[in-house]
Amino acid sequence: MCGIAGKLSLDRAVDPELIERMCEVVAHRGPDSRGIFCDGGIGIGVQRLAIIDLETGDQPIANEDGSVVVVQNGEIYNYRELRRELEGRGHRFSTTSDTEVIVHLYEDHGDACVDHLRGMFALAVWDRRRRRLLLARDRIGKKPLFYAARNGSFWFASEAKSILQDAEVPRDVDLDAIDCFLQFHHVPHPKSAFAELRKLPPAHVLSWEAGRIELRRYWKLSYSPDERYRSEDEMGERIRAELLEATRLRLRSDVPLGAFLSGGVDSSAVVAAMARLSSNPVKTFSIGFDVESFDETVHARRIADLFGTEHHEFRVEPDAMEVLPRLVWHYGEPFADQSAIPSLHLAELTRRHVTVALNGDGGDEDFAGYPRYAANALMNRLDWVPSWLARGAAWGLDRLGPGPRPRSPRTRLRKLAHGLSLAPYDRYAMWVAYFTERDRAELYSPELRASLRGNRTAPSVIKTPWVQSDATAYVDRLLDVDVNTNLPGDLLVKMDIATMAHSLEVRSPLLDHRFMEVAARLPAATKLTGRRTKLAFKRAMRPWIPDEILDRRKMGFGVPLAEWFRGPLRDLPEEILLDTRSLERGYFRERAIRDLIDRHQRGAEDTSNRIWALLQLELWMRTYVDAERPQQVAMSAV
């Protein structure tokens, strides 16, 4: 696990000191060593977190004659099998690291080397003979990769802040990306919050040669049903076998391992698999809250006791918000998933004990675990309702106003009524939105609305993967969309940045691409029926995990923002969002912001998620746009 960075130039040598700065600003991603390769118009750097081959695995790594050079952020889990194949074809290795297999695969297969990799990675391969760069990102998007092209130069890096170390790259804000952020609480790929930067999408390769850039997608999940399963028992056996294999590969490490444990279905399943494959007790780590409705530690302890793990807990309280400036600094773009707070603390706790942790990310996207899937499936079954009736119901519910909580009956009925008159992809976009189209229309200043007119990406973020999906079942279409949007844009960004901030590697067996291929092709009815979610996965796990864990209500991994913004953090939104510095940007209407804060503090509506998004945006502006050069902020900046 590492941070990588580089620059190419057509007409001049790359300054090695720039590559040093690009590495230094992400040293937290890999504190064990720094490697620099410079050769005229190419400069590549890497900060390494040593996990496999601690002695000889430093990067960059080259092939036998030095004609191919590679840096990688991530892990190739099937490197041992690949090495045996490559050695059988005559390749000679100088290390025992997983990264070295990439250079030899490139020699044999060129850009198709990525097809052989089973893991999480963002990599750069420099072909010295052809003066050609290859960038690649793993299939699911576990590892991030930004890039920029300008005036004959090309930059790439694990984090945007590395590229911004070069004064040649402007830090202009992409207002269209901000519009997307306010709807989806993250900036979706290939957009970046910076107008000059882009993100390489998951499952894509990018080549740069003589200033020409080409992108190609090399993998896509298929939801075409697999007709081979004759019984639920066969499905369960296959799911357990694939989970054990994915977990076994992720236990390959030369440093201590552990696991995140929430006590939910997914993390419990991963810990159960680890316990079956490990000769020593598994180390497990959990986060708790003083607000009971957010606290899952009792369930985590139940699983820890069941499997005899070495268990550790950490509690998050309102003063944990002191981490806010550090949160903004590390994420590098506006990012409003509130669970980044406990994720950052959980990573800090875990890193005191281990260097690698496994987690349960991906189970909800594999097996339809989120409540929104059931809600949208219900709306799909109500498509027979005439549009005039749906619009009338929406008008009436709007007159009543929103409910006081996101899950209150009135709030859900409003969403249902508004969604019935929309196309399925627009309906889902509305359901997952922080700020809906109408919310943003009320919030935006006339100047911001004018600048966005005719240049908006947000409507296509859900529509494009929806239309491109091969899924025939409605719920599978929802899953396919999330795998291509929310998963890489939110969940995986949250976990990568939170863990890398503390030099902790996290591995996700449920995001193994072969495991996901099996899950995707299961019959849709075995994932979601009515309000019953993750049916096939829960059936498969019943021999391992108690019913009380499998059948309890899903809690998620949030923080009690609503309570905090009405209690100990009551003054924070007004201090920041209504500050002269914020209002003078001219993006938002002051009255709309005051109303948002007032409705929340009166208890008329829970607007905490929207307040949090605006806070993240403003603090990002202060840290990355206002500052002369992006650098870590102190609390006084807030």
Neighbours of 215 (CB within 10 A): 13
SS3 category, 207? strand
2 in catalytic set = yes
298 neighbors 289 (Cβ within 8 angstroms): no
565 neighbors 601 (Cβ within 8 angstroms): yes
| The amino acid at 399 | R
Question: Pick the catalytic residue: 2, 23, 113, 180?
Answer: 2
Question: What token pair was written down for 411?
Answer: 């709030």
| The amino acid at 354 | V
SS3 category, 297? helix
44 neighbors 61 (Cβ within 8 angstroms): no
Cα–Cα distance, 190 to 489 (Å, whole number): 10
| The amino acid at 38 | C
SS3 category, 68? strand
Cα–Cα distance, 246 to 241 (Å, whole number): 9
Cα–Cα distance, 419 to 382 (Å, whole number): 10
Cα–Cα distance, 72 to 354 (Å, whole number): 22
Of 565, 567, 571, which is closest to residue 610 (Cα–Cα)? 565
Cα dihedral across residues 389, 395, 400, 403: positive or negative: positive
Structural element, H or E, at residue 150: strand 146-150
Q: Pairing mode, if any, of strands 42-48 and 356-358?
A: unpaired
Cα–Cα distance, 497 to 541 (Å, whole number): 30
Cα–Cα distance, 480 to 222 (Å, whole number): 8
Of 111, 122, 67, which is closest to residue 207 (Cα–Cα)? 111
Of 252, 308, 250, which is closest to residue 280 (Cα–Cα)? 308
Task: Let me know how long the chain is.
Answer: 638
Question: Half-sphere exposure (CA, 13 Å, Cβ side) for 40?
Answer: 6
> Is residue 224 classed exposed, middle or buried when 0-12, 13-18 and 19+ CB atoms within 10 A define those classes?
exposed
Distances (CA, A) of 528 to 152, 476, 533: 51, 10, 5
Cα dihedral across residues 547, 552, 555, 556: positive or negative: positive
What is the DSSP-derived secondary structure letter of residue 444?
B
Which residues, 6 or more positions from 352, have their beta carbon under 8 angstroms from its beta carbon?
A: none
Cα dihedral across residues 431, 433, 434, 440: positive or negative: negative
CA angle 21, 26, 31 (to 5 degrees): 105
Cα dihedral across residues 425, 369, 327, 580: positive or negative: positive
Cα–Cα distance, 149 to 161 (Å, whole number): 15
Q: Write the DSSP string, 314-351.
A: EEE-GGGGGGHHHHHHHH-S----TTHHHHHHHHHHHH
Which residues are identified as catalytic? 2
